[in-house]
Chain A
Amino acid sequence: MSLRRVLTITRRVMRQILRDRRTVALLVFAPMLMLTLGAILFRSDPAPIPLGMLNEDQGLTSPVIGTIDLGQRITDELAASDALIVVVLSHDEVDDRLRDGTVEAALYFPEDFTTYFVENRKAVLDLRLEGSNPTRSITITAHVTQAAMRSLASLVGTGFGIPGPQVTEGETALPVSVETTYLYGGEEFDTMDFIAPVYIAILSMFFVFLLACVAFLRERSQGTMERLAATPATRIEIVLGYMLGLGLFALIQVAVILFFTVWVLKIHYLGSLSLLLLVIAFLAIVGVNMGILASAFARTEFQVIQFIPLVIIPQVLLGGTFWAVSDMPGYLQPFAYIMPIYYANNALRDVMLKGWGLADIWPNLAILVGITGVLIILSSLMMRREVA
């Protein structure tokens, strides 16, 4: 064995990599980008949660202690919390406000809330949750319970007789219980149900992106693109042809994944499966066009792989997949709105978790169609560089 030969090869390999400046830049830049995004997202303080409040509590007036209004006390306590923003609602608007997302939960105090507490030594909170995000539901329930406990504690010493935790039959019973109802979903919805729709979307977009990118690249490197350009075929015809061909494959892939998810993994879903298929098909078409566009910037198949950290991972991190866009720092939010996956995520969650129909999700679909149109035009224009 000759060390010299080994080192000669070493030198050649290093020289080759250094000649490909983009690879060198990417080796350093891509991990930094991903870590930075991760750090920002993990460290960012979640935005306050809008909590609807419907307080009909009449309070209780007693000759001994004067008037006490427990509903008002809890409301004040909740309003003081940084994690929540209290929005006063009227009786009729609860479900509408939950549906349009301006509140994420609604707390209801009936007329006899204080009276019931005084008589039974137990506060029963009626909390209605939007319910499509299980993690979110748990957070809200916890905040509300804490606030109620604190306001009850403030009654200590008023002569009102607040019970501490009582031990009954070996269990610690708190003087507060929360009865939750859900607008969508319910307790049987777990985090996987929440993640599954967007997981499917990411996977299908990812594969079809790579497929389109490599197929188009190959077309150029094997010279058939030049030959195609010498036929009456126009650029837009070529792009649309690819879009349909790969789009159909994506559709088959999506259908298989979807049915597997629903029937084998037993993911809960509410809306219609065909609507889900439609949304994912739109996203796949976006993926094809992104691939065609990206292929213009790649000379080798290795460079196609480099698009994964640059194009796909930011979509996953910023598109509202794991972090709600409203929880992201303000300067990152505009990026979410340019990620096609953000709109697909919205539509998919609306269908799977809320059971919404086409009439409700069409704005998100329309934006996806718009993005597709822009990408088709851009990828046709990019072809101008190599094809007349």
Chain B
Amino acid sequence: MDLVVETYELHKYFGSIRAVDGVDLSVRSGEIYGLIGPNGSGKTTLIRLIIGLLRPTSGSIRLLGEVIPNKAILAQTGYMTQASALYEELTVRENVTFFAEMCGRYDPKWREEVIELVDLEDRSRSLVRTLSGGLRQRTSLACALAHKPRLLLLDEPTVGVDPQLRATFWSYFRNLADTGITLIISSHVMDEAERCDRLGFLRQGRLLAEGTPAQLRSQKSTTTLEEAFLQFAVEATEGGL
């Protein structure tokens, strides 16, 4: 199976803080990969490293077969930040167009499809300034999809989103995966982890375990992923000592 993202012995230190501490990650083509861990476990740093926004202290990354850093490959990846980073003075449609053009892949037909996908047809001419938090978050997702990326990196896309919209978002994600797009989604919510194809448990910058939700549960003989995570964490702490 094709590996879309591979990291090898990846380290990133900020001074004495080890934000990412020896991560070997492998994400397969077409899957929804969940980066699961508590706040401060290094999820955002890992995503920023993968996309080349940060330089690793040591270790290497391959993204879509290319060694990072590689600006050109970013035309094939979509990135959604925690905060819905959008131009407030532009409309939904203008924001989507802008990010598509930055990747050199503007296609008006696809733009309309994306806007439809996130159910924003009615608001596509509204200024972002006037939108509610949920609508902004959808616009942000549309911007990440604007250029038909092969890989989508979503950094806690459902933080601060109401349960109904969260369910909607996960149905979008599944639809996207069905069209062959690979998704890497970070989250600290365990019921979201259940919806991923494969997971990486992240804690204190280290990858505790990797596998499908079922595999991870059965490895620790637990009924929930939450329990499994805690067991892995305890094991890592004891092993570390």
Question: A and B from one assembly?
Answer: yes
A residues touching B (Cβ–Cβ < 8 Å)? 222-224, 226-234, 387-388
Chain A residue numbers with a CB within 8 Å of B86 are: 222, 224
Interface check B229, CB cutoff 8 A: no
If the complex has contacts A388-B54, A388-B69, are A230 and B87 also in contact, measured as CB distance less than 8 A?
A: no
Closest CB in chain B relative to A195 CB, distance in Å: 36
Q: Give the segment of B32-40, B74-82, B180-188, B211-219 that binds chain A.
A: B74-82
How many A-B Cβ pairs are below 8 Å?
A: 48
Is A227 touching B74 in the complex (CB atoms < 8 A)? no
Of B55, B72, B84, B87, the contact of A232 (CB 8 Å cutoff): B72
Is B75 touching A229 in the complex (CB atoms < 8 A)? no
Chain B residue numbers with a CB within 8 Å of A223 are: 81, 83-85
Interface check B159, CB cutoff 8 A: no
B residues touching A (Cβ–Cβ < 8 Å)? 51-55, 69, 71-72, 74-75, 77, 79, 81, 83-88, 99, 102-104, 143
Chain B residue numbers with a CB within 8 Å of A231 are: 74-75, 99, 102-103
Sampled A-B contacts (28; CB under 8 Å): A222-B83, A222-B85, A222-B86, A222-B88, A223-B85, A224-B85, A224-B86, A224-B87, A226-B81, A227-B81, A227-B99, A227-B143, A228-B102, A230-B51, A230-B52, A230-B77, A230-B79, A231-B75, A231-B102, A231-B103, A232-B72, A232-B74, A232-B103, A232-B104, A387-B53, A388-B53, A388-B54, A388-B55
Closest CB in chain B relative to A49 CB, distance in Å: 54
A226 CA / B102 CA spacing, docked (Å) = 13
Chain A residue numbers with a CB within 8 Å of B102 are: 228, 231-233
- Most B-side CB within 10 Å, residue of A226, A229, A230: A230
A235 CA / B32 CA spacing, docked (Å) = 31
- Most B-side CB within 10 Å, residue of A224, A226, A231: A231
If the complex has contacts A223-B81, A227-B81, are A232 and B53 also in contact, measured as CB distance less than 8 A?
A: no
Chain A residue numbers with a CB within 8 Å of B74 are: 230-232
Additional 8 contacts, C-beta under 8 A, given A226-B85, A230-B53: A222-B86, A223-B85, A224-B86, A227-B79, A230-B51, A230-B77, A388-B53, A388-B55
If the complex has contacts A231-B74, A232-B75, A234-B71, are A226 and B53 also in contact, measured as CB distance less than 8 A?
A: yes
Of A222, A226, A232, the contact of B71 (CB 8 Å cutoff): A232
Closest to B76 in A: A232
- Most A-side CB within 10 Å, residue of B74, B75, B102, B103: B102
Pairs A-B, 6 closest by C-beta atoms: A223-B85, A230-B79, A231-B102, A227-B85, A388-B53, A224-B85
Closest CB in chain B relative to A340 CB, distance in Å: 29
Closest to A241 in B: B102
Closest to A388 in B: B53
Closest to B74 in A: A232
Closest to B83 in A: A223
Closest CB in chain B relative to A231 CB, distance in Å: 4
Chain A residue numbers with a CB within 8 Å of B79 are: 227, 230
Chain B residue numbers with a CB within 8 Å of A226 are: 53, 81, 85
Chain A residue numbers with a CB within 8 Å of B77 are: 230
A233 CA / B52 CA spacing, docked (Å) = 13
A230 CA / B73 CA spacing, docked (Å) = 10
Chain B residue numbers with a CB within 8 Å of A387 are: 53
Closest CB in chain B relative to A259 CB, distance in Å: 29
A227 CA / B120 CA spacing, docked (Å) = 21
Chain B residue numbers with a CB within 8 Å of A388 are: 52-55, 69
Chain A residue numbers with a CB within 8 Å of B103 are: 231-232
Chain B residue numbers with a CB within 8 Å of A224 are: 85-87
If the complex has contacts A223-B81, A224-B85, are A229 and B72 also in contact, measured as CB distance less than 8 A?
A: no
Chain A residue numbers with a CB within 8 Å of B53 are: 226, 229-230, 387-388
Chain B residue numbers with a CB within 8 Å of A227 are: 79, 81, 85, 99, 143
Closest to B49 in A: A388
A388 CA / B69 CA spacing, docked (Å) = 9
